Structure 1
């Protein structure tokens, strides 16, 4: 072998990579990618949420409630009789960190699935890795749709399950004129494409549309434009710490909720607690879950979680509940796959493939019965609209009578239909992993 500077550099790089990520596959090692399961050893799952930064307001609670759900599952015998072990990562509200940590969870920690992300930007940052490794992501919050992958299971609402009801409700109760405000990334912009269609169908009028940088807390210029436009209500897709700043500055600038309420897809109990109930009172949220839902399973969930060591922030929330449900979707999908192929042969993809049609019953789901669509692997659920009260809780003012089917391409019917094998176009062709 010729000893050259290039060979030395290649050897050094390989060695340093092996030290940093000891379970990474290296050429010639013969080691397989991904998780390996052995009876008697815990099942590792990754929790990839932000514990610091502008997205920590909702995402820390997702990490906490996943730990609560895992403890609950383990106390009841685990998954397929085996305990679950969470590998907890702080994504630091940085999309590059999400991507880096997803690779580490899959390749170094060898988790069987990842639960994570709150924004579509972070989800799209990790999906290339998840798809390349044929792995599995549970995405437990609302998103915009227009996506059809074979490696995700989503337990939150799509646009046709929240803004489709919220927009006409607001137009009918407060007036036709609306101003859109959102954080500047893919979910708010794509959600607003949907909302514009619902608004037109409701006979409404869009007066303005503004986006602010993700994590920004400066809303003075936007509020000045809103003051000049005089809308009947504001439709908000602002997220994280920015959402808290927006609601506080709305009140501080003299805007009155009775004259111009904010209708949001994100401002729930967590955000209201962080900002102070006086800044949230009177405004509206569309979500499948509220802490005040009156049913035995939700009472048990709320009381158990808040009394646990994970309930330090004092509330439950739609994003937390959707995360909690995802733990039980994982348990059911894993056990179904294990019964079919054997415990040690379960893979991330086999869990996904055995999850279509899974039902999470009333006795487990705090929001009531939901199920995973057998084609697009999103969730059938009951949309609800709540109004924030003076104490920071939400009163449900409208609720769907039946579960609504998730439709990721509701405003793009010409693109096709999401099936279990990929996006099926009108001409019959199928494209896999469309993001």
Structure 2
């Protein structure tokens, strides 16, 4: 089932079963089991399917944070017990597993999801049960939820800075390539609106099904467009096929650079640096980001999972999210979601990406934008940053060109 169709089915089921669902749940808040000396949390990631290339390492970084916190005494005197579930790159499965974690396992919070389709699928589950989800991946914005904390970048912390960077380099003729689901289509509407207001031209816009491995036609269309640059919102292992076809078409980072917003160090390793060297990425963190907190994080991750295992932005945002939840719980002196939310505003953490602060009003966090260039060694080196953390603006209220998008 295509991502869009699957998502529509989930939304329809949610709308038709406002009071109960297949599991017999109700609109009442789910109560976490905190009676013993442990507190359970859910880890909800694709451990199989097209998104496993990206999400397995996010699960691993969540486990690292939990191990570190447990080693230092846990949270409110309780050790954290992770319950891991496989969303299997399938949006209805994400919704089913979210329901299980909340109602059967009675977790205090859940950490995970990657694609916007998976997040959209579980959003009504967390809202109905009044349970917390910490979502660690950059996304298209235009969303807030009282039961989701967004620890990845929203639009004005990633996509807009990437466009500003292209514009500053005189790259004004852009071709859009993305996976066919929520995030790329919404992001490209925002990119098109930005382009119209900033003297840029969108020469083409193509989508491929999530998991697609056929990109020869798209690569040839991109080449024929004579664009200055490509803005890439492909997700998962489709990027492997796309960049191989890109090189086969004779396109290079020098002749037509690609800026990607879903390729981090783990994907670079899977695709191969010979296909990506010189290409650009837009994130808020790289393994090479300077700072003592990142040095510690990278060392700990490699010690646990292997010296050849890279760290990446979504992994770092997931790792950070566990520490933010811990700080919220300790400030609230409670695992109760309502009290945790009330305590969230202004919570800070010296994260591997730098200092982050929770904006309680939007439940997003302040993040520093970074543009990086992929090296032949597979690492990404920062070539520009925003200088300071950017206040989250998920609905792009601070940009006149974005009026009407939401």
Show the counterpart of 1:17. none
Written as runs of structure 1 = structure 2, the 5 A alignment for 1:160-179 is: 160-173=156-169, 175-179=171-175
Is 1:386 equivalent to 2:383 in the alignment?
Answer: no
Partner secondary structure for residue 118 of structure 1? coil
1:350 equivalent among 339, 344, 360 = 339
Distance 1:311 1:373, change over 3 A: farther
In the alignment, is residue 375 of structure 1 matched against residue 361 of structure 2? yes
Aligned to 1:108: 104
TM-score normalized with structure 2 length: 0.89
Shift of 1:402: 1.4
Partners of 1:374 and 1:33 lie apart in 2 by 22
Q: Secondary structure at the match of 1:254?
A: coil
Residue 66 (1) aligns with residue 55 (2): no
Cα deviation for residue 251 of structure 1 reads 1.1
Q: Identify the range of structure 1 (251-260 vs 388-397) with the bigger mean alpha-carbon deviation.
A: 251-260
* 1:279 partnered with 2:279: no
**Map 1:240-255 → 2, pairs under 5 A:** 240-255=236-251
Q: Secondary structure at the match of 2:237?
A: helix
- Of residues 294, 298, 316, the one that matches 2:294 is 298
Contact 2:358 2:365 in 1 (8 A): yes
Q: State the distance in 2 between where 1:233 and 1:411 align.
A: 27
Residues 33 and 39 in structure 2, CA contact (< 8 A), matched pair in contact too: no
Residue 318 of structure 2 aligns to a residue in which SS? helix
Conserved in 2, the CA contact under 8 Å of 1:136 and 1:152?
yes
Quote the offset at 1:232 in angstroms. Answer: 1.0
Distance 1:200 1:311, change over 3 A: farther
> Secondary structure in 2 aligned to 1:319?
helix
Alignment-derived partner of residue 396 in structure 1: 382
Seen in structure 2, the aligned counterparts of structure 1 residues 337 and 50 have a Cα distance that, compared at 3 Å, is same
SS at match of 2:354: coil
In terms of Rg, which structure is larger? Answer: 1
- Map 1:16-415 → 2, pairs under 5 A: 33-38=30-35, 40-173=36-169, 175-308=171-304, 310-311=305-306, 314-338=309-333, 343=334, 346-361=335-350, 365-410=351-396
The TM-score, its normalising length taken from structure 1, stands at 0.84
Report the CA distance shift for 1:371/1:358 in structure 2 as closer, same or farther (over 3 A): same
1:413 to partner: Cα distance: 7.6
Contact 1:168–1:199 (8 Å) recurs in 2 = no
CA distance in 2, matches of 1:316, 1:83: 25
Give the aligned partner of residue 17 of structure 2: none
Gaps of 5+ in 2: 1-21
